Amino acid sequence: MRALMFGGTKVGLGMPKNEAISELSKSHSVTLLDEGGYLIQEKKTGGEGSAVLGYIHVRDDVVRLVSRNPNVNRWPSWGAYSMGRALYEALDIALPETDRDGAKRSIGRIVIAHRDGVGEVKDIQTVDIYINSVKISMSLMDHKETKIASVMVVIQAEPW
């Protein structure tokens, strides 16, 4: 897999920067964050906030990294269900081939880690799943006032 989808827009590694930004801007909000880094969000409608869909990083006018966050904003906040659904969607994105029986299969590497937090974050637990050139990163953070969970799919031009 060398590309990820943002709605109907395909963004791939090696894609020229201007083409990627132009295509994404047609149906998404694209914001320059830092040198070469662009945040991809849903376009705002009404007074609603816009969901962060992902991030791309450009170097030498070429897309070198694409990250895609499954959009869980419209799902119920049922803790484990929402996290499981986000992980399912991330794996569905990462595994493009479907076998004859409708299942998707691959061999990968899983790395789990636990780190002490800093400041208001008490601790951070991560699960990184590497499948071919794709990294699925799941983070669980125990914040002082709440629990935070996130999942993202990342592809990059350089090896992990």
Return the pLDDT at 75: 56
Domain stop point among 14, 44, 68: 68
Return the pLDDT at 77: 56
Is residue 40 assigned to a domain?
yes
What pTM did the predictor assign? Answer: 0.72
Is residue 38 assigned to a domain?
yes
Q: Do 88 and 22 fall within a single domain?
A: no
Mean pLDDT by 10 residues, the chain (160 residues): 82 94 94 92 69 90 90 58 77 81 88 85 86 84 76 79
Number of domains in the chain: 2
- Rounded Cα distance between 9 and 25, Å, is 10
Is residue 75 assigned to a domain?
no
**Structure-token match 């993202």, residue found:** 152
Return the pLDDT at 1: 47
Domain that holds residue 129: 80-156
Q: Which residues pair with 42 in a beta bridge?
A: 28
Q: Do 55 and 120 fall within a single domain?
A: no
Around 122, how many Cα atoms within 13 Å sit in the side-chain half-sphere? 8
Is residue 74 assigned to a domain?
no
